Every structure is written in C-alpha cells, then in structure tokens.
Amino acid sequence: MSATTQTAADTGSASPAAPPARKTRTRNWKMEAPFHLMIFPALVCVLIFSYGPMAGIGIAFQKFVPTSGLFGSKWIGFDNFSYVYSLPDTTRVIYNTVFIAVMKMIAGMAAPIATALLLNEIARPLFKRVVQTVIYMPHFLSWVILSGIIVDVLSPNYGIFNDFLGWLGIKPTFFLGDERWFPFVLVGTDVWKEFGFGTIVYLAALTGINPALYEAAVIDGAGRWKQTLYVTLPGIAPIVVLMGTLSLGNILNAGFDQVFNLYSPTVYSTGDILDTYVYRLGLVNLQFGVATAVGLFKSVVSFVLISVSYLLAYRLANYRIF
C-alpha cells in the first residue's frame, strides 16, 4: 500500500464520531427555549379567547336560558336550525352576505393591483412615498370613526358628494338610506379604506420581476403599455392567483363593523348580513340558541371554504402553510 493511501486510510479512521442524537436534540431545545417562551403568552390568549368559547357551541342545540346555564338548559337537538331556515329573512340575509362579500373581493383585488401598477410608474421617489402614505392612512382608522366621516360626506342635505352631484344637475340621493345604493356604498367605502394597504403585496411582487425582461422588451420595441401587458402582469400573476384563492375563505364575511355602523332598518332588505342578523337575534331579541345556530352554520361553511381555498392555493400557486 502506498504512503498516500495509507495516510488517507489512517485519516479516515481517525475522523471524529458524530454526536449522539439525544445530545443534538437537547442542544436544539436549549437554543429554541427562548422562542417558545416568547410565543407562550400569545398561545395562552389564543386558547382562552379562540378555543375556550367553543364550549358554547352546545347552545346551538339547546333552548338556552341564561339563568340555567349551559348544563341546565333543555336539549332540543336541531330545532334551532330548523327554526332559522324557516324564517323568511334567512335566505335574503345569506344572499346579501354572499353578494356583498363577492363584490368586495373583486373590487378589493382590482383596485390594489391597478394602484400598484400606477405607483410603479412614478419616477420620483419622494412623491411616490407621499402618495403611498396618504392612501394607507384609512386602513388604520376604525369603522366607528370612518362611519361618521362617510355619513357626513354622503348626507343628502349638506354632504360634499351630493353637493358635487348638484353642480352636475343631479338630484341629491340618500345613499345610506336607499336600499338600491347601500350595497354599493359598502363596497366602495371598503375599497377606499383597504386598497392602499393592499397595494403592499403587489408592490413587493413588482420588485421581484427581473429587470432584464423589461430591457429585452424595450429592445423588441415594446412601449410602457406592452411592457405592462406582457412582462408586469405575467410577473405578478402567481401573487394575484394566490390572493384570489385565499380570499375565498372570507366569502361569508361581509364586514360586521362596517355594516353595523352604517346600516339602518330602511336598508335591511339589501344590507343585512349574517353577522348583523346574529347580533339582532342574540343580543337584541335574546334568542341565544337561534343566534348560536346561525353562527355555527357560518363557521362550518367558512371552515370548508378556507380549506378549499388553501388547497387551491397549493395547487395553483404552490403556496403552503407548513
């Protein structure tokens, strides 16, 4: 055997042994312990406020009496569900919820995409940052504050929007009291509040497009419109598909805070949604079992839709949570 071979053999035999798996796991646990301690308070809050109230699901199957409690109320099975489905308002409320939610999903995706494309064309960084800051601001205001602003703006007597329509020769309209206009007011004001914040995702996607693609398009004679059509939009298409599929889980969430602060009995026929319906049944009419049954129905449907949306996001955009 040559000296070189012998040296290699000796070196290989003298290599240190791998550390035991138990020691490796212990070392990893010690390194990760601070992170587990950091997440522990949030985990406790989730268990208390998200999973703890799930014990009240049993109210949906009871003739619940607050003085008797959860264990003392009479068990009536699915009678609350049958009663809810027999109500004449239930079908209308479900239709209103789906219609308003779908309209918000469509407009809530189109507006941020268009805004992100326009902001991407601004050459002056300072002006671009100012515009971004201005359009982000409504997102951080609650609907309690914004509802007061919207009521003043859309007032038929002194609202600036109706004053503008008057300059055009159009009669003032009570948008918040007209059942035909109210759903579109909900969609428009929701888009106004959220579209600025929604542009963050699409602006981030635009920064990930390879600049060489734009250079090649310019060499081929493509103008700004052609570059947008054949380079920018295909570049952000995976993010658009991902956001669209993930939004399917919110198809029964039409926005309780917004509707509750803007609606009135005159627009119940087109503006009443499942969340406000549950509020009136449970807290106003004190039909706790019926309200819980409606809420449980919504939760089950939302769970199915969220599961389907994540499956579609994985299949179409290769998005995975874990």
DSSP designation for 209 = S
Q: What span, in angstroms and rounded, lies between the C-alpha atoms of 263 and 177?
A: 8
Q: What span, in angstroms and rounded, lies between the C-alpha atoms of 281 and 286?
A: 6
pLDDT the model gives residue 69: 82
Positions of the chain with pLDDT lower than 70, given as ranges: 1-27, 317, 319, 321-322
Q: What span, in angstroms and rounded, lies between the C-alpha atoms of 259 and 264?
A: 9
Q: What span, in angstroms and rounded, lies between the C-alpha atoms of 273 and 259?
A: 8
Number of domains the chain contains: 1
Q: Which two tokens stand for residue 168?
A: 């055009």
DSSP assignment of 250-268 equals GTT---HHHHHHH--GGGH
Q: Which two tokens stand for residue 76?
A: 């009536």
Q: Please classify residue 71 by burial: count the beta carbons closer than 10 Å to its beta carbon, then call 0-12 exposed, 13-18 middle and 19+ buried.
A: exposed
The domain containing residue 184 runs over which residues? Answer: 90-317
For residue 55, tell me if it sits in a domain: no
For residue 216, tell me if it sits in a domain: yes
* pLDDT tens-place string over residues 58-105: 888 988 888 888 888 888 888 888 888 888 888 899 899 999 999 999
For residue 11, tell me if it sits in a domain: no
The structure's pTM equals: 0.79
DSSP designation for 228 = I
* pLDDT tens-place string over residues 187-206: 999 999 999 888 988 988 88
For residue 14, tell me if it sits in a domain: no
pLDDT the model gives residue 6: 47
CATH of the domain at 189: 1.10.3720.10
For residue 77, tell me if it sits in a domain: no
pLDDT the model gives residue 23: 64
Q: Which two tokens stand for residue 236?
A: 């952000």
For residue 260, tell me if it sits in a domain: yes
For residue 3, tell me if it sits in a domain: no
